Amino acid sequence: MELHFDQELTRLKEMLLRMAAMAEQSVADSLRALVERNEELARKVDADDAQLDRAEMDIDRVGIELIALRQPKASDLRLIIVAMKIASELERIGDQAVSIAHRAMELAKEPPLKPLVDIPHMAVLVQRMTHDALDAFVYAKPDLARSVIARDHEADQLHEQVRRELTSFMVEDPHTITRALNLMTVARKLERIGDHATNLAEDIVYLYEARDIRHQNEENPPHA
């Protein structure tokens, strides 16, 4: 019975890692669609989102079955609960990627507003945060998860920098408003991905240390 339960937990982890790979690919493709002005790739990101939705539901179903039927001990119960929470965050990351893809399609119809510098920089940062959070899960590295949390402030600063610059464009030339607002949305969605990566990291610290570190810094707002 114990061996069978371990196999079921391994299957749950494998499902989660497949979902993580899909979410990371969606983000990468949405940014590539933006930078390369590739509407076909942006549409693919939109179409692929249904797979992430199904993956989240499958993980939830397996997790609930394991809790109901196996009555897992504390450490295994934490793993199941955290796996379900990670799946929810990954689904939301996929939603942010879809939104970026939609903005990429809109922006591809007009001349570029400006060379993209800060947005790709921000994208690299939040993609690395997400990847490191998932590595922390796979390799049981809560310290790596904590490093992800520490980087969230940098993502917030970049978001604010992009917002200020694009606001200046709109003030100086009203013809840029639509494009600037679309780029602002992209930056906001990237900032949200950073928030989701931070949430992942907090869940992973809880998994491996049995400590809930959410809301420890009251100066920071709750993550989206």
Tell me what pLDDT residue 224 has. 46
The CA-based diameter of the chain, rounded to the nearest angstrom, is: 69
Measured between alpha carbons, how far is 104 from 194 in angstroms, rounded to an integer? 19
Tell me what pLDDT residue 16 has. 97
Say yes or no to pLDDT of 202 above 90: yes
Measured between alpha carbons, how far is 26 from 101 in angstroms, rounded to an integer? 9
Measured between alpha carbons, how far is 5 from 96 in angstroms, rounded to an integer? 34
The answer to pTM > 0.85 is yes
Q: Are 137 and 205 in contact (CB under 8 A)?
A: no
Q: Which domains does the chain have, with CATH numbers?
A: 2-209 (1.20.58.220)
Report residue 120's pLDDT band, with 50, 70 and 90 as the boundaries.
very high
Tell me what pLDDT residue 215 has. 76
- pLDDT tens by residue, 58-109: 999 999 999 998 889 999 999 999 999 999 999 999 999 999 999 999 999 9
